[in-house]
Every structure is written in structure tokens, then in C-alpha cells.
A = this chain, B = another copy of it.
Amino acid sequence: MTLKVSDTGEFELIDSIRRIIDGAGHKPGLLIHGIGDDAAVFTPEPGYEMVVTCDSMVEGRHYLKEHITPMEIGRRAMVMNISDIGAMGGIPLYALVTLGLTSSETVEEIEGIYRGFIQELEPFNASIIGGNITKTAGNTFIDITLIGKAKRGHIALRSGAKQGDAIMVTGFPGSSGAGYRLLADGISPSLKNKTLIDAYLRPVHRAREGHSLAVSGLISSMMDVSDGLSGDLNHICETSSAAAEIWEERLPVSSALQDISTLYKQIPADFILAPSDDYELLFTCAPEKIDAVKKTLKEFDCPVTHIGDIVPMAQGMTLINRNGERKPLIKKGWDHFSIK
């Protein structure tokens, strides 16, 4: 028999979730009190700042149940948040999770989602210390607050980009957005496009890389690519009172992205600059530090590409195409309300 959430009580459901959380291997040494009281309590570590973020996923909006397993849903929701902590230079410690359930979910699904959370937290010895389950008549939703620590003086902000800095990006942005499009268009997974669909369903964060870059002192600004490369670059430039010049020919193109571009009769840059939540790192550094940055990232086997430079704000956001023509780099990004 498949046990639905409506067949069980809230407290029974919480008990089964607690068993999963308590069964997780690691418990941070500085956690004084976790789940089971009005609030959780932990001791902050001397010499560290606290870094905190929250992000949510709504069924039907950020994921479609037919394409993704409960464990993948949990992993994806946690990766989004871990990526934000890493992009500040932090390390995740404690998560609080709110689930909004319609009560048609099965208990097995909910347990799968929690197992996904824990799979992503355990490598950091991080754990779930609180949360809340509520009933909603609409779509299932997951809202996570993630608390981390970052070494005092080694926080990476968006606002530090300086004129002349190199604009660097890890991995292959645009993959996730391309994967989403394949799924939405009902194109069946093949060996060729699998990496794109995986990038969407099973994204990987670069939190360790982000932490290392922040601690290295080599970079001037950083954020994660969660809206899309061009939208996110715009955030860096706006907060840094600067602009950017990007060369189309330098954008990192995977062979899978090349294939899908051919399929859709588009150029790879259309995917790379479009809305896409890749959880790659977008950062800037002085040009003389590029080699040291590459060396730092090599330890993680993390590809990195120099895609352009920071220019004065008055120049505006520019894309230089393969023919050397300069075009305005259009600000694109997810906008939950204008996309109907």
C-alpha cells in the first residue's frame, strides 16, 4: 500500500523525517540544540562570519514531477542554496527546511526529498536543524534557509569588480537551460544530450571552488550563475558600477551544446547567455591573477574560461561576435512574474 501524506498525521510525518535526519552520519560539533524545540541553537565559531541564504522550489514552476525523482528534487533544492553559500566564499553548516504539501504526496516521496537534502549536506558535515511542514492547496513547495560560515575578511561579494578585471566563468553555462528545453519539448534523452538534461535535473554546485577562490584572495567579485550568464553578469556590473565586454568566440561550448544548437538552428551563445540555472561560478580577477586562479581551480578539476573584461560603465554591456561586431549584451534572466 502506498501511504499518502493524508493517511498519516503531521506529527507522524515529522517523526519519519526525523528518523532520516537523525540517521545522517555527521552532526556539527557546535550544534547545541536541533529539531524538537521552538528554535535551534548553535555556537558561532570565532573568526568566522555567518553567511545565510534562502531559496525555494515550487512544483510545476521549478520542476515537473514527471521528469525528476524525489531524491533529485531534494538534491536540486539543496544545491541551489549550497551554491549561494559557496559563491560568497562560505561553507554550509545548518539548513532549515519548510515543505508545503498538498497531502496527495506519498510519504515515500517526502522521505526521498529529505534523503536528497542529506546527500548534499553530508559531504560538508552540515545538517538539517529545523523546519516546518504546512498544508497548501496549490503546488508542493520547498523553501530552504541555509546558514554557513566564511572566514572573516574573505567574503566574496558581487560588488568588487574593477575596470580591466578579467571576467571568468567555470564549467559550461547554458547547459541547464538547454536541458530544460529538451525536456519541455519532449525530446527523449540520448547519449548526446544527456549531459544537458543532467545539468538541469542533477545540477552540481561549485561551493568548494568558491570557498577556495574567496580564501585565496585572488578574485575581486563573485556570484553563482543561477539566472543565466548575461543576467548574472549584469548584477555584478550594476553593483560594481561597471560594464562588461564579452567575446562570443571565447564562450565555453560543450559538444552537447554544439549539437543542440544545430538541432534548434541557433548559435551556442543563444543558450549560454540565456536564462539558465547552472550553479557555475562567475567571477572577476585582475588579469595578472588568471594563472593563479586556474591553478587553484585545477585542484578541483574545474574548467574555467576567461570570457571578457570589465570596462567603464559608460561603455555599456557589450557582446563582440565572431565577426568582430559589437552588439549590446541584452540583460536576460529569469523573471518569475513576467514569464507567463
Contacts and interface: CB of A to CB of B under 8 A. Distances in A.
Given A50-B50, A336-B10, A137 B60 contact: yes
Given A38-B85, A39-B90, 4 more contacts: A38-B158, A52-B96, A52-B130, A61-B136
Contacts of A319: none
B56 A134 contact: yes
A133 interface: yes
Nearest to A340: B6
Given A96-B145, A141-B100, A43 B50 contact: yes
Contact of A338 (B10, B58, B150): B10
12 contacts: A10-B336, A38-B158, A41-B50, A41-B155, A43-B152, A52-B145, A56-B134, A58-B100, A58-B135, A60-B137, A61-B135, A100-B100
A132 interface: yes
Contacts of A131: 54
B56 A40 contact: no
Given A46-B46, A132-B55, A337-B103, A141 B139 contact: no
A5 interface: yes
A159 B9 CA distance: 23
Contacts of A155: 32-33, 41
Given A138-B138, A337-B6, A337-B103, A50 B42 contact: yes
Interface of A: 5-6, 8-11, 13, 32-33, 36-44, 46, 48-56, 58, 60-62, 83-85, 87-88, 90, 94, 96, 98, 100-103, 129-139, 141, 143, 145, 147-148, 150, 152, 155, 157-159, 223-224, 239, 333-338
A150 B41 contact: yes
Copies of this chain, count: 2
Contacts of A61: 134-137
Contacts of A5: 337
Contact of A11 (B50, B96, B335): B335
A38 B337 contact: no
Given A39-B85, A84-B39, A141-B100, A134 B52 contact: no
Contact of A9 (B85, B152, B337): B337
A51 B36 contact: no
Nearest to A149: B44
Which of A39, A48, A143, A224 counts the most B-chain CB atoms under 10 A from its CB?
A: A39
Given A138-B138, A143-B56, A155-B33, A49 B38 contact: no
Nearest to A334: B10
A150 B41 CA distance: 9
A143 B239 CA distance: 27
A147 B135 CA distance: 24
Contacts of A40: 51-53
